[in-house]
Amino acid sequence: MPPNRRAKRRPLEIIHTAEWMRLASREASVAARVVGLIPTMGALHDGHFSLIRAARGQCSPVVVSIFVNPLQFGANEDFGKYPLTMEKDRTALESLGVDYLFAPESSEMYPPGFRTSIHVEGLSERLEGRSRPGHFQGVATVVLKLMEIVQPNFCYFGRKDAQQIRIVRQMVRDLDIASEVVDCPIVREPDGLAMSSRNEYLNNDERVAATGLHRSLKRARENISHGERNPGQLLGEIREILEREPLLRVDYAEIVDVHTLEPVVKLRGECLILLAVFSGRTRLIDNALITESGRSFVVTI
Ligand code: PAF
């Protein structure tokens, strides 16, 4: 990796076409600068801001893309009502010192006649993929396109979307993409709810009930620290906590191997507790990473 020659910061530049974005990135890489990309769908919150700060520590220029990707939404999902807060987002990006906002139109990303999609086999069909068929094909396709356009040295993702990160990493490896995937910790509200653009959909009661996800993960951490190693037992208590809340409905709660995303029969190596839970009509996800460390396990929530 060449040394990052930090050029003087310029005001945020907004780019709408792939061609201009590619030119700006090429210019940066010719000047031996390190390009960082944070792909987003907008409605930016502290979770995104933490990715931007991480990128600013390593990269210049920093590119944030805002594109609500139709390919990753199912027919009955919230594509039509996904929050759009472009003005607010732009102001935030300016104050965070982001160099480029890449905000393409859908017709720019998927012009008439677009036919290609990326499918990461074996990792895309389970968990989120089972509940949201085609979702990860849409994610992998748009992330690959964004990486091709921006050519980032580093590309930043939040760990809340643990399955997404696993799939993107696999795609980057399989397709020899010259970008490094950087994953950053989950950012939570003071009461533990993982930050998400979809939290905006929650009414007061649903918002309170939604803290059950974090509480159930904390209980699992407590149980593991007291020696529990049986995924069935751990999941039993997680479900009990979630099902106690009348507004919550569990879509799935699983403990899986980090690499294969297959359920484990015993905690070993690195595992993930993955949750998808409806609070009212809003589907929320959350997770905890369990890492074997000598004879004990560290649980990162
Ligand atoms: O995590 C998201 O916001 C989206 O899945 C991503 C990575 C921006 C692709 O549309």
Please write the tens of the pLDDT for every residue from 100-126: 999 999 999 999 999 999 999 999 999
Nearest protein Cα to ligand 1, atom 5: 139
Q: Is pLDDT of 7 > 60? A: no
Confidence check: pLDDT of 247 > 90? yes
289, β-bridge pairs: 272, 300
Task: Specify the 3-state DSSP secondary structure of 136.
Answer: helix
Q: Averaged over 203-208, what is the pLDDT?
A: 98
Ligand 1 centroid – CA 241 distance (Å): 29
- C-alpha 112 to ligand 1 mean position (Å): 22
Q: Length of the chain, please?
A: 301
pLDDT over 60 at 145, yes or no: yes
Alpha-carbon gap, residue 35 to 99, rounded angstroms? 10
What integer pLDDT is reported at residue 3 of this predicted model?
45
- Ligand 1 centroid–CA 172 distance in Å is 15
Sheet harboring 270-279: ordered strands across? 248-257, 270-279, 282-293, 296-300
Query: Residue 4 pLDDT more than 80?
Result: no
Helix, strand, coil % in the chain, rounded to nearest 5: 40, 25, 40
Average pLDDT of span 213-237? 98
The pLDDT mean for the chain works out to: 96
Pocket of ligand 1 (CB under 6 A): 39-41, 69, 72, 139, 142-143, 161, 164
**Whole-angstrom distance, CA of residue 97 vs CA of residue 127:** 36
Section 49-76 average pLDDT: 98
Give one DSSP letter per residue of 59-99, joined into a string: -BSEEEEE---GGGS-TTSSGGG----HHHHHHHHHHTT-S
To test the pocket of ligand 1, the residue of 124, 142, 163 to mutate (highest count of ligand atoms within 8 Å of its CB) is 142
- Calculate mean pLDDT across residues 249-272: 98
Q: What is the mean pLDDT of residues 143-158?
A: 98
**Which of the four CATH numbers 3.90.870.30, 3.30.1300.10, 3.50.50.60, 3.40.1360.10 does domain 197-300 have?**
3.30.1300.10
Position 158 scores a pLDDT of 98
CATH fold label, 13-184: Rossmann fold (3.40.50)
Q: What confidence score (pLDDT) does residue 301 get?
A: 98
Residue of 44, 72, 166, 171 best suited for mutating to test ligand 1, as the one with most atoms within 8 Å of CB: 72
Going by alpha carbons, the residue nearest to atom 9 of ligand 1 is: 139
* CA-closest residue to ligand 1 atom 1: 40
Q: Which atom of ligand 1 is nearest to the CA of 139?
A: 9
CA–centroid distance, 284 to ligand 1, in Å, is: 15
Q: Which two tokens stand for residue 168?
A: 């993107």
Dist. CA 180 → ligand 1 center (Å) = 16
User: What residue ranges do the domains of the chain occupy?
Assistant: 13-184, 197-300
Atom number of ligand 1 nearest to Cα 161: 1
* pLDDT above 90 as % of the chain: 96
Residue 1: pLDDT over 50: no
pLDDT of residue 10: 79
pTM, 2 dp: 0.96
Per-residue pLDDT tens digits for 280-297: 999 999 999 999 999 999
List the catalytic residues. 48
